[in-house]
């Protein structure tokens, strides 16, 4: 990585916990033997804010967080293909607001599950290799975007089952895409990152008519004129190794590589030359023992905190609104030793879930500070 | 040891340091504290002598003499000489650094706060949306939402349970049925058994592939796609271990690239320090240390800053002006710069992906004559056509008879014969115009040639027809005479009219009607008429004029402006004038200080003013392309800038200017002009665009390495070694038949139509002269040379186009016969078969044929990215790891890589017993890979071809007996380094 120039140094957070908040383990459950790769709360529909889903192996499971640390299993889905290994899950809904679960994994097939009717809604075949992440557009939750090993990012309409756009080609990723995220307010914008060590910001503004068309398309989805978006509007080389998770924080981007830290940076685009620009690294959030790839962090609904697990089963809760960064809490439990692949934070940040390589789910609840 | 000495001195002076620093603080207070507000508020930003000894960088400086750059003894000596100053500077720099850092913190904090505020609104909106999703479903969806139901069940159950068994350990008895399907989990229940799982039916997955972009023609790799010099991390899918691959050579490249721009704060520190201490080597050194850059880098930056600072003062005005300026203020060369850089002269497209931008400009030694479409001539091109304007003016001039007569009287008698018809003519034209409605019949007769019955163009024709001397039979004769005569007739008319007009102008500009210049001018032109037309004197004025107008062709071959076509294209008094140049020059001594000339000049000056440089340049270009046709020039080049009549006027005044200049002994200039012009038209290769300009305005520059190596000529290659790869062709810029130094010859390629050299060049590939349908055998020199026929080069190779363009007359060579097309142009014409992509019967993906094809039929092109061999080696390493490669050797310079860009044929699998073969073919100067049927293939069959791995490089699954390998090689030089999934 390039040396940071004078006057552009990031503000690095201290690992001394501020003890702003305390969490303790309230539940732990073993879902199975296969690693759990993703856990996600439903932020799409306020009725289901306490519902979350996990994926691991060929299984997708829906839970509910109840008071007193109780977790209830609501639904469970199993792919008939035993070799399927789901890597990611995201909540979405069709245009009527019916809850959908979108999951993908090693087979490269996106499964859209109608959670309201407990059956498969659609399966999207198209990606040429495994799917590493799926995210939902919060403003239009029928749109999901998927990141794949086939070096592409694809935009899908889960309502009509259409692959609208493919973000790949001349300016696309040059290795697996590991993570992707929708901008929270700019509906045209997504950021993706992957094994080519770059973070790319894409705009679908010029292609928005296709997105609209996808909602009214009545013909076969395969006949839809899927478009390639070949050039990102911005390419950042903030990291020097795999970038396995990126999330928008307003107009900034949080991203992490395998360097034991999450980096917050601002993309500074050049107005008239798309694709060029610089990344201004603002802050760094150290996360010790976080040097393996495919460990993802998560935020609460209001982006007040980022939560990330590490290789040794510990969790770090960073305040996202302070400068310099403040470590809200460091969570550890003697029995939590397995790498935490993904975390999930409840709507208000009071509950933290972690899913681990050993197939366990941990629930941590905030302790009211007296 | 100077280094040691230095350190000693430094420590010796250290005790004095506070004083020095304090002193300097006093001296230099203002710049430090006023420039950045807030600096004085914060005590840490001031200079605190007590802090200084503890400053870490200075400590290091003091205590570790060996850390001093040993390669820079001079600097150390300098430091030695002025140690106190050095320390002082160091202190200041440190303070500045600290200040920058704290400002950065403040900046980040502010940005964070702003962002947080923005996020607050965003999430508020998102929450609103998420809350709105509830009623929608309740209102519209009658069906039970099972998720909501399960949710409710769970809560109910918990309420029931929590009364009995507390919270975290509550496990529920497994209940059957749907009554309550949710399972509450405590800490230790395995989920697997808890809920009846819902099965997701299996869906067959696709064979793996990497997302690729369809290419219908090859593209050259852009720099940013190179993997050379880039680190790549592999991971073992099973072990999950990552492996960073880079070799030392690549790392070196990476470091080289790491030249960063100076940041604002670096500039700030630099500026402040220099401001306080002036500019010296010591400062340079210390700053270099501080920024971890090289001193010379800092020096350069300082100079830049100083320059910038100076500029700031007075450029502001200039900038304002500059912002207004549009492309019109550029000259044509600058405007054409992007054309030169971005337009591909081989593919005739902008931004050609195959040949790239910033190609070497090749100007052909032979240029085609100015193009024109003769038929377009008779119509005024628009409301501002010069024809219309001329008409008006001639009207006007005739309505001032006094002028006309006064002139007449002045003509010497010898001119009378020539003069008279003209007068008649003009007079008649007036009459005719009044009659024009009645003479519609005649003009419509003439329509077969003069197409549209636009009344505006009719008058001249009618005038001619209505000449007193031209009796009705003659009239017919004229019609039979055809376009040329008619045109010339009209041209003659125009000539006179415009001459008249010019006279009028002259008179207007000069109060003296007796002006000799005017006379001379007029005389001369008319004299020449009579001189040329001696024999025809007695014939009708019509006849007299028409040869006259054509005259220039015969008598002035040197004046290339007057191409044959051009006579048809415009009424051209200037031609006349030019013809008479020598005569005029003779007379010109007397005109030296003519008022007339002055008048002309004035006119000219006015014109000059209203014509921007770019317009002038465009006009010149137009002259080159279209000849002296103001209609075409205005329509095609000056659209929205100048009207046809303006162009016409300019054209005339331009010539006038030349003539009048000649009077001032500027003959050489004229000669020069025409020489240049002639050269341009002749294409003797004067590059008018300066190299300098091209370089400066370069938009994007892609670097390509043009390797050239002495190889055998292409013909030898064909007959000799088959395994030798073909040579990449680059057009040469030779302006004369290529000699030994011609790059094509040196490189061992033929010259092609894109070369600058004339067609007579010995190194040119001359195409074939095959009779019909013979280009598919080795008899055809093109075919034998692994080239496609080129309609531009071969004698009999063409295709008949379906009549899709207009009347269908375009593109059909009428004498060559119909319904024939050369069958050795399939790649050029993209006459490929429909290829389908599907699951291979062998492995992974496969390519299939939609229709039956015969043996040797062309199936399609194997397209991809053109990459260098070096790049291919690097990429190959990566592909080999994935056991899938789409590399294909193209020629000595390039390898095709279809991994991310290509077409469906890249999925055709390898087979030692294939039904297709690949062949590298030269198509219009480019090597391309065609896939052909080796045998008859029926619809739906999967395509296979022999990848022809080099024996030592073939993967195990592609290995085959050596003998057969050699046999296969004789199909061509296309030893594929190819590809694919095992």
Please check the confidence at residue B167 and state whether its pLDDT lies above 90. Answer: no
CB pairs under 8 A between A and B: 309
Per-range mean pLDDT, top range of A182-191, B23-32, B163-172, B404-413: A182-191
Q: What is the mean pLDDT of residues B524-531?
A: 43
Spatial distance between the Cα atoms of B231 and B246, rounded to a whole number of angstroms: 5
Q: How far is A130 from chain B (nearest CA, A)?
A: 9
- Using one digit for the tens of pLDDT, what is the confidence trace for B718-766? 223 345 677 888 888 888 888 888 888 888 888 888 888 888 888 888 8
pLDDT, residue B194, reads 56
Please check the confidence at residue B394 and state whether its pLDDT lies above 70. Answer: no
Please check the confidence at residue B243 and state whether its pLDDT lies above 80. Answer: no
Please check the confidence at residue B90 and state whether its pLDDT lies above 60. Answer: yes
Spatial distance between the Cα atoms of B734 and B365, rounded to a whole number of angstroms: 8
Which site among B137, B163, B164, B211 would you substitute to test the A interface, given the most A Cβ atoms closer than 10 Å to its Cβ?
Answer: B211
A172 touches chain B (CB under 8 A): yes
Say what the pTM is. Answer: 0.68
Q: How far is B328 from chain A (nearest CA, A)?
A: 21
Higher-pLDDT residue of B138 and B670 is B138
Compare all CA atoms of chain A with the CA of B174 and give the residue at the minimum distance: A73
Q: What is the mean pLDDT of residues A55-59?
A: 93
pLDDT, residue B135, reads 54
Q: What is the mean pLDDT of residues A139-148?
A: 95
Compare all CA atoms of chain B with the CA of A264 and give the residue at the minimum distance: B112
Q: What is the mean pLDDT of residues B97-118?
A: 91
Spatial distance between the Cα atoms of A202 and A119, rounded to a whole number of angstroms: 33
Q: Which of A7, A28, A184 sits opposite B126 (nearest CB)?
A: A184
Q: What is the mean pLDDT of residues B595-612?
A: 53
Q: Out of A66-70, B309-313, B879-883, which region has the weakest mean confidence (pLDDT)?
A: B309-313
Q: What is the mean pLDDT of residues B580-588?
A: 43
Q: How many Cβ atoms are within 10 Å of B540's Cβ, its own excluded? A: 18
Please check the confidence at residue B23 and state whether its pLDDT lies above 70. Answer: no
Which site among B112, B166, B222, B353 would you substitute to test the A interface, given the most A Cβ atoms closer than 10 Å to its Cβ?
Answer: B112
Q: What is the mean pLDDT of residues A20-36?
A: 90
pLDDT, residue B344, reads 84
Which helix (H) or strand (E) segment is B330 a member of? none
Q: What is the mean pLDDT of residues A90-94?
A: 93
Q: Which of B109, B199, B266 sits opposite A323 (nearest CB)?
A: B109
Spatial distance between the Cα atoms of A147 and A149, rounded to a whole number of angstroms: 7
B200 touches chain A (CB under 8 A): yes
B143 touches chain A (CB under 8 A): yes
A150 touches chain B (CB under 8 A): yes
Confidence label for B557 from pLDDT (cuts 50, 70 and 90): very low
Compare all CA atoms of chain B with the CA of A251 and give the residue at the minimum distance: B115
Please check the confidence at residue B228 and state whether its pLDDT lies above 50. Answer: yes
Q: Do B134 and A11 touch (CB under 8 A)?
A: no
Higher-pLDDT residue of B8 and A53 is A53
pLDDT, residue B306, reads 80
Q: Do B189 and A29 touch (CB under 8 A)?
A: yes
B854 touches chain A (CB under 8 A): no
Higher-pLDDT residue of B594 and B179 is B594
Q: What is the mean pLDDT of residues B867-892?
A: 82
Please check the confidence at residue B348 and state whether its pLDDT lies above 70. Answer: yes
Please check the confidence at residue B293 and state whether its pLDDT lies above 70. Answer: yes
A259 touches chain B (CB under 8 A): no
B350 touches chain A (CB under 8 A): no
Please check the confidence at residue B792 and state whether its pLDDT lies above 90. Answer: no
B191 touches chain A (CB under 8 A): yes
Per-residue DSSP letter, B347: T
Q: What is the mean pLDDT of residues B365-385?
A: 62
Q: What part of B 467-496 touches A (C-beta under 8 Å)?
A: none
Higher-pLDDT residue of B242 and B68 is B242
Please check the confidence at residue B39 and state whether its pLDDT lies above 60. Answer: no
Per-range mean pLDDT, top range of A30-34, B288-292, B939-943: B939-943
Q: Out of A61-75, B407-421, B792-806, which region has the weakest mean confidence (pLDDT)?
A: B407-421
Q: What part of B 272-311 touches A (C-beta under 8 Å)?
A: 290-292
Spatial distance between the Cα atoms of B793 and B772, rounded to a whole number of angstroms: 15
Q: Out of B42-51, B305-314, B408-417, B883-892, which region has the weakest mean confidence (pLDDT)?
A: B42-51
pLDDT, residue B686, reads 34
Contact residues on chain B for A189, CB-CB shorter than 8 A: none
Q: Out of B312-321, B677-686, B929-938, B968-977, which region has the weakest mean confidence (pLDDT)?
A: B968-977
Backbone angles phi, psi at B945, to 5 degrees: -145, 165
Contact residues on chain B for A323, CB-CB shorter than 8 A: 105, 108-109, 112-113
Q: Out of A105-114, B701-710, B970-979, which region has the weakest mean confidence (pLDDT)?
A: B701-710
pLDDT, residue B499, reads 52
Higher-pLDDT residue of B895 and B522 is B895
Q: Out of A104-118, B80-94, B572-586, which region has the weakest mean confidence (pLDDT)?
A: B572-586
Compare all CA atoms of chain A with the CA of B128 and give the residue at the minimum distance: A46
Q: CA triplet A94, A95, A100: central angle to 5 degrees? A: 15
Please check the confidence at residue B31 and state whether its pLDDT lies above 80. Answer: no
Q: Do B145 and A241 touch (CB under 8 A)?
A: no
Q: Do B126 and A111 touch (CB under 8 A)?
A: no
Q: Do B118 and A250 touch (CB under 8 A)?
A: yes
Confidence label for B954 from pLDDT (cuts 50, 70 and 90): low
Closest CA to B502 of B654, B664, B653, B670: B653
Q: Which of B167, B184, B263 sits opposite A6 (nearest CB)?
A: B263
Closest CA to B966 of B951, B947, B982: B951
Compare all CA atoms of chain B with the CA of A253 and give the residue at the minimum distance: B115
pLDDT, residue B49, reads 38
Q: Out of A68-82, A228-242, B576-590, which region has the weakest mean confidence (pLDDT)?
A: B576-590
Compare all CA atoms of chain B with the CA of A45 and give the residue at the minimum distance: B130
A152 touches chain B (CB under 8 A): yes
Compare all CA atoms of chain B with the CA of A229 and give the residue at the minimum distance: B213
Q: What is the mean pLDDT of residues A356-365?
A: 93
pLDDT, residue A201, reads 95
Q: What part of A 330-369 touches B (C-beta under 8 Å)?
A: none
Q: What part of B 236-275 touches A (C-beta under 8 Å)?
A: 240, 242, 258, 260, 262-266, 268-269
B186 touches chain A (CB under 8 A): yes
Confidence label for B502 from pLDDT (cuts 50, 70 and 90): low
B171 touches chain A (CB under 8 A): no
Average pLDDT of chain B, as a whole number: 61
Of chain B, the percentage scoring pLDDT greater than 90 comes to 8
SS3 B866: strand
For chain A, the three-class secondary structure string (H helix, E strand, C coil) is CCCCCCCCCCEECCCCECCCCEEEEEEEEECCCCCEEEEEECCCCHHHCCEEEEEECCEEEEEEECHHHCEEEEEEEEECCCCCCEEEEEEEECCCCCEEEEEEECCCCEEEEECCCCEEEEEECCCCCCEEEEEECCCCCCEEEEEECCCCEEEEECCCCEEEEEECCCCCCCCCEEEEEECCCCCCEEEEEECCCCEEEEECHHHHHHHHHHHHCCCCHHHCCCEEECCCCEEECCCCCCCCEEEEECCEEEEECCCCEEEEEEEEECCCCCECEEEEEEEEEECCCCCCCCCCCEECCCCCEEEEECCCCCEEEEECCCCCCEEEEEECCCCCCCCEEEEEECCCCCEEEEEECCCEEEEEEEECCC
Of chain B, the percentage scoring pLDDT greater than 70 comes to 44
pLDDT, residue B372, reads 53
Q: Do B265 and A6 touch (CB under 8 A)?
A: yes
Which site among B98, B113, B119, B246 would you substitute to test the A interface, given the most A Cβ atoms closer than 10 Å to its Cβ?
Answer: B119
Q: What is the mean pLDDT of residues B931-949?
A: 88
Q: What is the mean pLDDT of residues B617-646?
A: 79
Q: Out of A41-45, B196-200, B703-707, B802-806, which region has the weakest mean confidence (pLDDT)?
A: B703-707
Q: How far is A306 from chain B (nearest CA, A)?
A: 14
Assembly ipTM: 0.94
Q: Do B182 and A8 touch (CB under 8 A)?
A: no
CATH class of this structure's domain A3-366: mainly beta
Supply the DSSP string of B910-935, one letter for each residue.
Answer: E-SS-SEEEEEEEETTEEEEEEEESS
pLDDT, residue B493, reads 52
Average pLDDT of chain A, as a whole number: 91
Q: Do A116 and B146 touch (CB under 8 A)?
A: yes
pLDDT, residue A3, reads 54
Spatial distance between the Cα atoms of A194 and A241, rounded to a whole number of angstroms: 9
Q: How far is A361 from chain B (nearest CA, A)?
A: 10
Confidence label for A342 from pLDDT (cuts 50, 70 and 90): very high
A94 touches chain B (CB under 8 A): no
Q: Do A119 and B148 touch (CB under 8 A)?
A: no
B193 touches chain A (CB under 8 A): no
Please check the confidence at residue B299 and state whether its pLDDT lies above 50. Answer: yes
Q: Where exactly are the structural domains of chain A?
A: 3-366
B145 touches chain A (CB under 8 A): yes
B205 touches chain A (CB under 8 A): yes
Spatial distance between the Cα atoms of A40 and A195, rounded to a whole number of angstroms: 23
Higher-pLDDT residue of A366 and B356 is A366
Compare all CA atoms of chain A with the CA of B245 and give the residue at the minimum distance: A241
Compare all CA atoms of chain B with the CA of A250 and give the residue at the minimum distance: B119
A322 touches chain B (CB under 8 A): yes
Instruction: Classify residue B223 as exposed, middle or buried by CB count within 10 Å of its CB (0-12, 13-18, 19+).
Output: exposed
Higher-pLDDT residue of B878 and B173 is B878
């Amino acid at each position: 990585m390039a040396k940071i120039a004078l006057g552009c140094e990031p503000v690095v957070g201290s690992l001394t916990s501020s003890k702003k908040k305390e969490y303790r383990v309230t539940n732990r459950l073993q879902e199975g033997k296969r690693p759990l790769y993703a856990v996600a709360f439903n932020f799409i529909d306020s009725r289901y804010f306490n519902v979350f889903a996990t994926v691991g192996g060929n299984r997708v499971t829906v839970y509910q967080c109840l008071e007193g640390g109780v977790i209830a299993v609501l639904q469970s889905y199993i792919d008939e293909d035993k070799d399927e290994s789901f890597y990611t899950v995201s909540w979405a809904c069709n245009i009527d607001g019916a809850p959908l679960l979108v999951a993908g994994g090693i087979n490269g097939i996106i499964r859209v599950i109608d959670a309201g009717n407990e059956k498969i809604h659609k399966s999207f075949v198209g990606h040429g290799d495994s799917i590493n992440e799926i995210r939902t557009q919060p403003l239009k939750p029928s749109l999901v975007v998927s990141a794949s090993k086939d070096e592409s990012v694809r935009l899908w309409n889960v309502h009509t089952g259409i692959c609208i756009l493919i973000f790949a080609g001349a300016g696309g990723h040059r290795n697996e895409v590991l993570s992707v995220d929708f901008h929270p307010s700019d509906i045209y914008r997504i950021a993706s990152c992957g094994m080519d060590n770059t973070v790319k910001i894409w705009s679908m503004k010029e292609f928005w008519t296709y997105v609209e068309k996808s909602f009214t398309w009545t013909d076969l989805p395969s006949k839809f004129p899927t478009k390639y978006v070949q050039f990102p509007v911005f390419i950042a080389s903030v990291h020097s190794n795999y970038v396995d998770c990126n999330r928008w924080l307003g107009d900034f981007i949080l991203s992490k590589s395998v360097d034991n830290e999450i980096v917050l940076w601002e993309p500074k685009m050049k107005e008239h030359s798309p694709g060029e620009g610089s990344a201004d690294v603002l802050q760094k959030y150290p996360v010790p023992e976080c040097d393996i790839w495919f460990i993802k962090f998560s935020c609460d609904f209001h982006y007040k905190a980022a939560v990330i697990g590490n290789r040794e089963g510990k969790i770090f809760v960073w305040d996202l609104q302070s400068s310099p960064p403040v470590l809200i809490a460091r969570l550890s439990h003697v029995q939590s030793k397995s790498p935490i692949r993904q975390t999930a934070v409840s709507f208000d940040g009071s509950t933290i879930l972690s899913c681990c390589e050993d197939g366990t789910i941990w629930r941590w609840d905030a302790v009211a500070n007296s | 040891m100077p280094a040691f000495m230095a350190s000693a001195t430094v420590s010796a002076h250290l005790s004095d340091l506070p004083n020095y620093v304090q002193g300097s603080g006093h001296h230099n207070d203002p710049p430090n504290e006023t420039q950045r507000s807030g600096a004085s508020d914060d005590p840490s930003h001031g200079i605190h002598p007590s802090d200084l000894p503890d400053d870490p960088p200075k400590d290091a400086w003091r205590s570790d003499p060996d850390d001093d750059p040993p390669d820079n003894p001079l600097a150390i000596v300098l430091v030695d000489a002025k140690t106190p100053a050095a320390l002082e500077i160091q202190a200041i720099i440190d303070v500045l650094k600290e200040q920058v850092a704290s400002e950065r913190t403040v900046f980040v904090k502010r940005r964070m706060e702003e962002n947080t505020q923005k996020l607050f609104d965003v999430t508020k909106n998102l929450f609103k949306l998420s809350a709105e999703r509830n009623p929608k479903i309740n209102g519209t969806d009658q069906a039970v939402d099972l998720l909501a139901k399960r949710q409710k069940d769970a809560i109910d159950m918990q309420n029931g349970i929590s009364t009995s068994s507390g919270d975290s350990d509550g496990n529920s008895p497994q209940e059957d049925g749907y009554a309550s399907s949710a399972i509450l989990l405590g800490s230790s229940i395995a989920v697997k058994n808890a809920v009846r799982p819902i099965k997701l039916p299996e869906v067959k997955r696709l064979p793996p592939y990497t997302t690729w972009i369809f290419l219908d023609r090859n593209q050259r790799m852009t720099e940013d796609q190179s993997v050379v010099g880039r680190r790549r991390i592999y991971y073992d899918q099973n072990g999950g271990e990552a492996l960073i691959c880079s070799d030392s050579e690549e790392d070196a490249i990476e470091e080289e690239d790491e030249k960063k721009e100076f940041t604002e704060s670096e500039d700030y520190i630099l500026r402040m320090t220099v401001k306080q201490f002036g500019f010296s080597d010591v400062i340079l050194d210390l700053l270099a240390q501080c920024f971890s850059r090289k001193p010379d880098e800092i020096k350069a930056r300082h100079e830049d800053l100083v320059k910038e600072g100076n500029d700031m003062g007075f450029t502001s005005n200039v900038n304002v002006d500059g912002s207004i300026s549009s492309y019109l203020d550029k000259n044509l060369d600058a405007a054409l710069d992007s054309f030169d850089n971005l337009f591909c002269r081989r593919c005739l497209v902008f931004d050609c992906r195959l040949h790239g931008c910033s190609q070497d400009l090749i100007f052909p030694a032979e240029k085609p004559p100015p193009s024109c479409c003769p038929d377009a001539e008779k119509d005024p091109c628009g409301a501002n056509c010069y024809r219309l304007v001329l008409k008006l003016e001639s009207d006007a001039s005739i309505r001032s008879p006094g002028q006309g007569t006064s002139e007449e009287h002045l003509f010497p008698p010898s001119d009378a014969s020539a003069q008279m018809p003209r007068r008649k003519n003009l007079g008649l034209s007036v009459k005719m115009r009044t009659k024009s409605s009645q003479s519609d019949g005649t003009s419509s007769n003439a329509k077969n040639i003069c197409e549209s019955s636009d009344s505006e163009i009719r008058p001249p024709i009618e005038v001619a027809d209505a000449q007193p001397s031209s009796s009705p039979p003659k009239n017919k004769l004229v019609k039979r005479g055809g376009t040329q005569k008619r045109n010339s007739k009209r041209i003659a008319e125009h000539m006179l009219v415009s001459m008249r007009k010019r006279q009028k102008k002259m008179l207007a500009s000069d109060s003296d009607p007796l002006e000799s210049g005017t006379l001379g001018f007029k005389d001369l032109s008319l004299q020449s008429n009579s001189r040329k037309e001696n024999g025809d004197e007695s014939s009708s004025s019509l006849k007299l004029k028409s040869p006259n107008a054509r005259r220039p062709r015969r008598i002035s071959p040197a004046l290339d402006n007057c191409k044959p076509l051009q006579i048809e294209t415009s009424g051209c008094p200037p031609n006349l004038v030019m013809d008479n140049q020598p005569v005029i020059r003779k007379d010109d001594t007397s005109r030296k200080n003519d008022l007339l000339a002055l008048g002309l000049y004035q006119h000219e000056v006015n014109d000059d003013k209203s014509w921007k440089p770019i317009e002038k340049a465009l006009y010149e270009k137009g002259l080159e392309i279209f000849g002296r046709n103001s209609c075409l020039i205005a329509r095609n080049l000056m659209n929205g800038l100048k009207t046809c009549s303006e162009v016409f006027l300019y054209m005339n005044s331009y010539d006038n200017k030349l003539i009048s200049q000649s009077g001032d002994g500027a003959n050489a200039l004229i000669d020069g002009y025409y020489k240049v012009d002639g050269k341009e038209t002749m294409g003797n290769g004067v590059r008018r665009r300066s190299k300098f300009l091209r370089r400066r305005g370069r938009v994007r520059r892609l670097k390509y390495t043009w390797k050239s190596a002495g190889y055998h000529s292409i013909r030898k290659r064909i007959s000799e070694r088959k395994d030798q790869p073909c040579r990449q062709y680059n057009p040469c810029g030779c302006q004369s038949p290529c000699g030994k130094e011609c790059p094509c010859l040196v490189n061992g390629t033929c010259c092609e139509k894109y070369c600058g050299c004339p067609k007579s060049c010995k190194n040119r590939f001359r195409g074939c002269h095959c009779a019909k349908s013979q280009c598919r055998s080795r008899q055809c020199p093109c075919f034998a040379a692994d080239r496609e026929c080129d309609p531009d080069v071969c004698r009999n190779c063409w295709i008949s186009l379906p009549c899709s363009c207009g009347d269908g007359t375009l593109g059909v060579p009428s004498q060559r016969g119909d319904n024939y097309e050369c069958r050795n142009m399939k790649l050029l014409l993209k006459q490929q078969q429909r290829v389908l992509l599907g699951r291979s019967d062998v492995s992974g993906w496969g390519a299939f044929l939609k229709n039956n094809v015969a043996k040797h039929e062309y199936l399609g092109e194997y397209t991809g990215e053109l990459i260098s061999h070096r790049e291919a080696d690097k990429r190959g390493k990566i592909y080999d790891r994935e056991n899938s490669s789409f590399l294909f050797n193209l020629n000595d310079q390039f390898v095709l890589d279809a991994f991310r860009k290509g077409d469906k044929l890249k999925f055709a699998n390898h087979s030692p017993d294939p039904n297709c073969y690949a062949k590298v073919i030269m198509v219009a100067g480019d090597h391309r890979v065609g896939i052909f049927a080796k045998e008859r293939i029926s619809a739906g069959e999967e395509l296979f071809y022999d990848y022809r791995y080099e024996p030592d490089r073939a993967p195990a699954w592609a290995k085959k007996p050596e003998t057969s390998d050699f046999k296969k090689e004789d199909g061509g030089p296309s030893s594929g380094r190819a590809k694919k999934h095992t």
